[in-house]
Amino acid sequence: MQIATTEVHRNATVAEDLCRGLREEAQLGDYGGVLRLRARLQPDRVAYISLSSGDEETARYTYSEFDHEVRRLAAALQAAGATGGRVLIIQSSDLHYTLAFWACLYAGATAVTTIVPSSREQMRRLGLVAADAGARHVLCQQSVRTRLEGTLELPEGTAWVAMDELPEVEAHDWRHSPVDWESVAVLQYTSGSTSDPRGVMVTHRNLLRIGAYQERLFSLTPDDRAVVWLPQSHDFGLMLGVLQPVYSGYEAVVMNPMAFLKRPLRWLAATHDYRATVWLAPNFAYDLCVDAVKDSGTNGIDLSSLSLVVNGAEPIRKSTYENFIATFQPVGFDPVAFSNAYGLAETTLAVTCSPRDELYRCAHLSRHALGSGKAVAARPGESAFDVMDCGAPLPGLDIRVVDPVRSLPLGADEVGEIWVAGPLVTRGYWGKPTDTEQVFGARLADGTGPFLRTGDLGYRCGSGNLHITGRCKDVIIVHGKNHAPQDIELTVEGSHLAIRPHCGAAFSVDHGGREVAVVAVELRRECLPGLDLDEVGRTILRRVALEHQVPLGEVVFLARGGCPKTTSGKVQRRRVRQMYLDGALESVGRHVGPTFGGQAPA
């Protein structure tokens, strides 16, 4: 297989050698060979830098140094008998996680990416993942082992390997364990909320392809530098934050996610200090940055170095971009840096993206037409919905927009389910042949296929670029019209200052044999004392009825943290709905609309 590479490497001699190496799978042996090749060709170049939560640099590894540490940890895994098996990584998302992942690849093991559980629900889910993967080894810190051993349900005979208390092994004890390019490099467990987690089988070849495609489409070079806080247990943080820097040869400054979430200014400051060129984050992160400087100001932060800012969350919001640009363009941020992307774990990471140095685009659509499955530009004064352009398909991918009931392909500007086929589509779900066939084995009515059913709704515009409008299972149908929940959620967010942005879920429930919409939203902690919840509820009902012609049955008010999210920050609508039906939502108040027997909003 010949791997396409970017044409703009500055370090020509090293780059040419590296590109030749990447074209030879036999030379690499497996995806771990990408790091080994970097260590051989660029031993003294900085690979990773670690920042503490106090913003101080705690570690700096060249490729040679990092390769040495990876070999030592991989040798310990091999001594423990992990080769050929699944290794559960339970580790905080920092440079230790990066080391653990690469060590699994070096050891010829399959990495099972998870998080350190902080709640009973996370502990339960982690046990399900361990059982589903059949993991026989856990890789973690000794402190994590002490806390979890005997509490976490693991398959019988599972061995613990503590990264900070390794046995007497050295880097030279490591032995290359050849694996097939179609073997599973990582089990990426989906963050589904209402069903048991499913492990997406990502192969070594999948990793190599996504690295090549992203390098070419984003024009990544060794002169880039990224500041990364994304959770490495999630596909976005793993592929772009851990693997892509090594593939493309640029430095990655690694920050723990909690360090960013507690103080978003750390991301901004590190970008200024290290002159970072690359950012990767979900939509909500850019809103947090704007909020972080509202009171204190930008304090001399310079963002002029940023030239690629990838937004890969759902939904990508035009208002987020407008607010970010208004706030940070005065300190050097170039709006052209924004790049939209769409993807999912089942396609390794990406399906479409907009290229570097191209200004983002947005469609201003008629809500009425969109509810009928048509993407039509809104007329002046008409109720409208902004849908961001997520770019063109990655090379080799066949993307169809399909009527999911009739399995018929739809034309341009017609909304349907997105189906994908091509080299980035993974092998399916680990140990779940029925689920794999249902999701990865879709065929059009004429037999064309197989395709991956993404479960996402969208359309392709005249240029062929993709626009995402929602999720199939999340769509709210009221009076025969389809309504995207994120559209309603955006209206709710803007209806009152007490509502926390990106912390609400709109969904539908059956009431008297018909579908009725309900909203659950978090409130700002500082607004709670003395807040008139009925007044807030009436305001929400009025705004949603006016803009969407949807009568809400109820508004449920949640305290901070009461709206469950995935590890990547996406609201788990189906879980919120199930908790609502089970009476498990911990509310601080409710406002019942007329549909549920309350009083009509004044």
3-state SS, residue 195: coil
d(CA 29, CA 594): 65
Confidence of residue 418 (pLDDT cuts 50, 70, 90): very high
Selection from 381, 372, 383, 592 nearest residue 490 by Cα: 383
For the chain, the average pLDDT equals: 89
**Burial class (CB within 10 angstroms; exposed 0-12, middle 13-18, buried 19+) of 249:** buried
In the predicted structure, residue 484 carries a pLDDT above the cut 90: no
Helices 63-79 + 95-106 axis angle, to 10: 60
Contacts of 264 (CB under 8 A, 6+ apart): 285, 288, 289, 291, 292
> Measured between alpha carbons, how far is residue 288 from residues 195, 282, 327, 549, 575 in Å?
30, 11, 12, 31, 24
- pLDDT band, very low/low/confident/very high, at 11 (cuts 50, 70, 90): very low
pTM comes to: 0.83
How far is Cα 597 from Cα 391, in angstroms, rounded to an integer? 45
E-strand stretches of 179-323: 184-189, 199-203, 225-228, 251-254, 278-281, 308-311
Please say whether the beta carbons of 140 and 91 come within 8 A. yes
Question: If you write DSSP's letter for every residue of 196-213 in order, what string do you get?
Answer: ---EEEEEHHHHHHHHHH
Residue 6 has pLDDT above 70, yes or no: no
**Model pLDDT for residues 576-601, shown as the tens digit of each residue:** 998 998 899 999 999 998 877 654 33
Instruction: Please tell me the distance from the alpha carbon of residue 456 to that of residue 467, in angstroms, as a whole number.
Output: 10
Closest residue by Cα to residue 370 from 513, 521, 510, 488: 488
Percentage with pLDDT > 90 across the chain: 71
* pLDDT one-digit tens code per residue, 350-382: 999 999 989 999 999 998 898 889 999 999 989
Judged against a pLDDT cut of 80, whether residue 508 lies above it is answered with: yes
- At the top level of CATH, the class of 12-262 is alpha beta
| 211 has a pLDDT exceeding 50 | yes
What is the torsional sign of CA 552, 192, 310, 231?
Answer: positive
CATH number of 476-596: 3.30.300.30
Looking up tokens 């960013």, which residue turns up? 260
What is the arithmetic mean of pLDDT over 387-406? 94
Domains 12-262 and 476-596 share a fold: no
pLDDT tens digits for range 323-338: 999 999 999 999 999 9
End-to-end CA distance of the chain: 66
Q: Where are the domains of the chain?
A: 12-262, 476-596
